Structure 1
Amino acid sequence: MNRNVTRRELLSTGGTVAAGLTMNTLLREARAAEANERLTIGVIGCGGMGRYNMDCMQRTGQCDVAAVCDIDRQQAERTAARSAELAGGHTPEIVPHYQRILDRKDIDIVIIATPDHWHAIQFLNACAAGKDIYCEKPCCHNIREGRRMVDATKKYGRVVQIGTLQRSQQHFQEARDFIQQGKLGKITMTHTYTYENESPQGMGNAPDSEPPSGVDYNEWLGPAPLRPFNSRRFHGSWRWYFDYAAGMVGDWNVHLQDIIQWVMRTPYPVSVNTEGGHYVLEDDRDTSDTMQTVYDFGSYVQTFSMRKASGKPWYVPGGHGMDFYGTNGMLHLSRSGWRIEGDEVNWSDRDNHELRTPNFEAKGRTVYEPHVQDFIDCVRTRKTTIAPIEEHYPIVVACHLANVSYLAKHKIFWDREKELCFKDRKLTVLDQEANEYLGREYRKGYELPEV
């Protein structure tokens, strides 16, 4: 009988649960021993993720917030008030420019949770100022920025955690261990997907207008091109414009791509080909509402499917997830849990239902605190975090290359040593058109710092 096995049975040879318990015990002991050694935080970017990351760090009982910064005074005040509530009344300083946070010698950690187009400049300056960094994903607006951020981290010896929190979730680690122990067999294909239905209006359209009171719009634009203020290109929807972000492939797929490459231990794709467009939604975004990307990672193929204007497929619940296809079966993984569907040992014998790996299903949940705690612990020990920028960089390379192929309108081949696009698999003919999308032009006064 092909019953579903339990988590304990499935992982019995891997030691995953026992290892997790040991790790948690050690973390609790470390926290108790270091309870009086408090770290001081500066928050750069006070939107939802900046405020929530700060909240998680304060609730560890090991951190104090000294200053917060945002180009929107209202967001900064809201974040300062939340910090004061958690700290029993102490209100952090509100500063108009992030450099004021970097100049303070008492600040150990900075949280960078600004829009993507600001990450690299603030990150590089924070490294030079001797701060350890918790940076929201994706780490960079483009590939050239990401390389410089990796170099700065190494040069200045900083501890960095990228906010790809799924690495710190127990059920993602269990699925990783199952695959890396070879229990799914040889994997030849993976698939990531995001879908929702925003048709027909999408995010809608709005006329240009004056910026809201208390907003330094010029500073919000920073390195991006100067444009009139438009509410659609601001809070909540800026990520759908290439001036500031990478669309859905840099928003949600960076989380999914991270797990694929982490589990498969593959740093860079060999080739990338994207098809798609802005087909349905009646708004002015310049990123796509439909996208299909095919990656060749050398030993397996990966596809990424993104739909903003059509509903869910029948076989997977939820608006995001990933699948691993091995010779023993399929493993489906998302934030809500993971499951295995084993293949029959003999497909030609319809009466024999023996499976190559047992069916299994377990629930999971998303919690941010373990990811934050890992960062705090590594700040103290100077060890490498679970999501360091050195490992995140190949992930964002893959994500950004999906858009490079989309914008260049053809398949590209990636040279991981030269970090350039080529037109052929042998890497003999440079792809000048694609390489134009590896960086950006920076507005005067907001150039990318040198390392």
Structure 2
Amino acid sequence: MILKPDRRRFLQAAAAAGAASSIVPAVSRGEEKREAPSRRLTLGCIGVGGKGRNNLGRFLTEKDVQVVAVCDVDENHTRLAADMVREKYGNDDCRVYADFRELLARDDIDAVSIATPDHWHALTAIAAAEAGKHIYCEKPLANSVGEGRAICNAVEQNKVLLQTGSHERSNPNARFAAELVRNGRIGKLREIVIHLPCDQAHHQQVKEFSSKPAASSVPEGFDYDFWLGHTAEAPYSEKRCHFWWRFILAYGGGEMTDRGAHIIDLAQLGAGTDATGPVLIEAKGVQNPDSLYDAYMDYQFVNTYGNGVRMTGKSEGPRGLKFIGDEGWIFVHVHGCKLEAEPASLLQTTFGENDVQLGRSPGHHRNFLDAVLHGAELMAPAEVGHRTATICHLNNIAMQVGRSLKWNPETEQIEGDEEASALLTPAMRSPWKL
């Protein structure tokens, strides 16, 4: 069904109000509450593999959403996703697409969920913004610093909203921990320790894979060239694609951007640095030169902020982060955000009206809908997602060039290092371009 002009104006007004009153660029905060339109928000889902179907399932539980289209380059994915929608609504109205551009051309779609491999986030999100669609985009926001900035620019220029899928930021425990830090309950913040281990079964498989697989036939119903997109031509192997792509730097950033986009994101929230980032990046890691998987699986890093706070990290330990102050510490486990603290009494803290209070989320997907429909503040808008992903990418770049980087978070440039600077934005295979 084509949207009537009054509903179009409502959705645009909600986006404009959100963008106008934020302390961080692209954060949406409605200046006044608005009633939801009488019809449901229409949603298309682009990228409906494992995580994409998970997001689809979340949106299908919301009464004010109507999923009208699913899109993927793999017919197996779209078949499973379309079956989910049909089972939910009891009809065959959900359209199936292989090309996201056809889905975005529809005037009756208000918003999209993007859960493609990371190397497709930027081109898809930018096209969605230019089509006037609000966007829920999986983390990391983009697969490079330059692509992330391009997304933020497109979102701002087209006055749409974007929620980055770093859902731990919506966890009440994570927000409580950040409030403890930002209100000085652990004293002056000195260090943030990041534990980003590569210790699960799939990590071990990646570490043990020490070759480049022979080319094999592309499965029927899978548009492999479209899947490659702007990246270089490469022989097909199932070990290159679904799920495993995240350990190949052309398509993802390894654990550094996969779960780093959650854990470093919570560090940014607690440090109050959502609009900026470190100024010195030091990182060392080990690659397997003979393997298809060139992402770093063993690493350590030190990121230093302009105020002297150090964020140190390594690929071992209990997954999560520890805020260390001169009067105590807080550890946030990821996933789930179970808290530990010293002194333990910190966990019984209550806050007053003069304290920093970060608010609570009804759930990350619900928060996105409330932002679009009612002008609520997004938990993880484009700029926040970009700043988090930037730190992850800079650590990977420092490991690639084998030296520390001086980063200017204002200009978003690496100072005095042409080789490293060239890695901020990848070259794109024709006909694709930012």
Given the two structures, how large is their TM-score scaled by the length of structure 2?
0.83
- The one-letter amino acid paired with 1:304 is G
The Cα shift of 1:168 comes to: 1.0
| Alpha-carbon separation, structure 2, partners of 1:188 and 1:174 | 19
- Corresponding residue for residue 368 of structure 2: 375
| Alpha-carbon separation, structure 2, partners of 1:200 and 1:216 | 26
Contact 1:188 1:301 in 2 (8 A): yes
Contact 2:122 2:142 in 1 (8 A): yes
| Alpha-carbon separation, structure 2, partners of 1:170 and 1:35 | 29
Which residue, out of 388, 402, 416, partners 1:409? 402
Deviation larger for 384-393 or 102-111: 384-393
- The one-letter amino acid paired with 1:339 is E
The Cα shift of 1:433 comes to: 1.1
Which residue, out of 377, 397, 417, partners 1:431? 417
| Alpha-carbon separation, structure 2, partners of 1:225 and 1:114 | 17
- Corresponding residue for residue 25 of structure 1: none
| Alpha-carbon separation, structure 2, partners of 1:247 and 1:201 | 10
1:388 partnered with 2:385: no
| Alpha-carbon separation, structure 1, partners of 2:155 and 2:286 | 36
Contact 1:331 1:339 in 2 (8 A): yes
Alignment deviations for residues 248-288 of structure 1 (CA, whole Å, 9 cap, x no partner):
11101110111101111122101001111126x98531111
The Cα shift of 1:405 comes to: 0.4
| Alpha-carbon separation, structure 1, partners of 2:89 and 2:386 | 35
- Corresponding residue for residue 267 of structure 2: 260
The Cα shift of 1:418 comes to: 2.6
The Cα shift of 1:360 comes to: 4.5
- Corresponding residue for residue 141 of structure 1: 143
- Corresponding residue for residue 303 of structure 1: 312
Question: Against the structure 1 CA distance between its residues 214 and 321, is the aligned structure 2 distance closer, same or farther, given a 3 Å change threshold?
Answer: same
| Alpha-carbon separation, structure 1, partners of 2:151 and 2:251 | 18
1:397 partnered with 2:353: no
Which residue, out of 231, 236, 247, partners 2:254? 247
Contact 1:340 1:361 in 2 (8 A): no
1:179 partnered with 2:181: yes
- Corresponding residue for residue 324 of structure 1: 323
| Alpha-carbon separation, structure 2, partners of 1:38 and 1:360 | 40
Contact 1:192 1:323 in 2 (8 A): yes
Alignment deviations for residues 186-227 of structure 1 (CA, whole Å, 9 cap, x no partner):
110001112215447646464320111110000000001001
| Alpha-carbon separation, structure 1, partners of 2:173 and 2:106 | 39
Contact 1:35 1:62 in 2 (8 A): no
- The one-letter amino acid paired with 1:399 is C
Question: Structure 2: which 5+ residue stretches go unaligned?
Answer: 1-32, 350-360
Which residue, out of 34, 39, 42, partners 1:40? 42
Aligned to 2:422, the other structure's residue is in SS state helix
- Corresponding residue for residue 274 of structure 1: 283
Aligned to 1:231, the other structure's residue is in SS state coil
Contact 2:283 2:395 in 1 (8 A): yes
- The one-letter amino acid paired with 2:422 is E
Alignment deviations for residues 395-436 of structure 1 (CA, whole Å, 9 cap, x no partner):
1111110011011110000012332112xxxxxxx2111101
| Alpha-carbon separation, structure 2, partners of 1:98 and 1:203 | 36
- Corresponding residue for residue 126 of structure 1: 128
| Alpha-carbon separation, structure 2, partners of 1:170 and 1:391 | 18
Question: Against the structure 1 CA distance between its residues 200 and 236, is the aligned structure 2 distance closer, same or farther, given a 3 Å change threshold?
Answer: closer
Within 5 Å, give how 1:190-201 maps onto structure 2: 190-195=192-197, 196=199, 198-199=203-204
Give the aligned CA root-mean-square deviation in angstroms: 2.3
Question: Against the structure 1 CA distance between its residues 199 and 110, is the aligned structure 2 distance closer, same or farther, given a 3 Å change threshold?
Answer: closer
- Corresponding residue for residue 165 of structure 2: 163
1:115 partnered with 2:117: yes
Question: Against the structure 1 CA distance between its residues 272 and 376, is the aligned structure 2 distance closer, same or farther, given a 3 Å change threshold?
Answer: same
Question: Which structure is higher in RCO with an 8 Å CA cutoff and minimum separation 6?
Answer: 2
| Alpha-carbon separation, structure 1, partners of 2:106 and 2:293 | 39
Within 5 Å, give how 1:21-36 maps onto structure 2: 34=36, 36=38
Contact 1:273 1:294 in 2 (8 A): yes
| Alpha-carbon separation, structure 1, partners of 2:168 and 2:417 | 34
Contact 1:202 1:282 in 2 (8 A): no
| Alpha-carbon separation, structure 2, partners of 1:360 and 1:56 | 30
Question: Structure 1: which 5+ residue stretches go unaligned?
Answer: 1-29, 308-312, 343-356, 363-367, 423-429
Alignment deviations for residues 363-421 of structure 1 (CA, whole Å, 9 cap, x no partner):
xxxxx971111100111134541110012211111111001101111000001233211
Aligned to 1:358, the other structure's residue is in SS state helix
Question: Against the structure 1 CA distance between its residues 330 and 38, is the aligned structure 2 distance closer, same or farther, given a 3 Å change threshold?
Answer: same
The Cα shift of 1:239 comes to: 0.6
| Alpha-carbon separation, structure 2, partners of 1:99 and 1:34 | 28
| Alpha-carbon separation, structure 2, partners of 1:383 and 1:35 | 15
Which residue, out of 345, 363, 386, partners 1:358? 345
The Cα shift of 1:36 comes to: 4.3
- The one-letter amino acid paired with 2:283 is T
The Cα shift of 1:96 comes to: 1.9
Contact 2:284 2:300 in 1 (8 A): yes
Given the two structures, how large is their TM-score scaled by the length of structure 1?
0.80
| Alpha-carbon separation, structure 1, partners of 2:183 and 2:234 | 52
Aligned to 2:330, the other structure's residue is in SS state strand
Aligned to 2:423, the other structure's residue is in SS state helix
Contact 1:222 1:446 in 2 (8 A): yes
Question: Against the structure 1 CA distance between its residues 57 and 201, is the aligned structure 2 distance closer, same or farther, given a 3 Å change threshold?
Answer: closer
- The one-letter amino acid paired with 1:137 is K
Contact 1:137 1:164 in 2 (8 A): yes
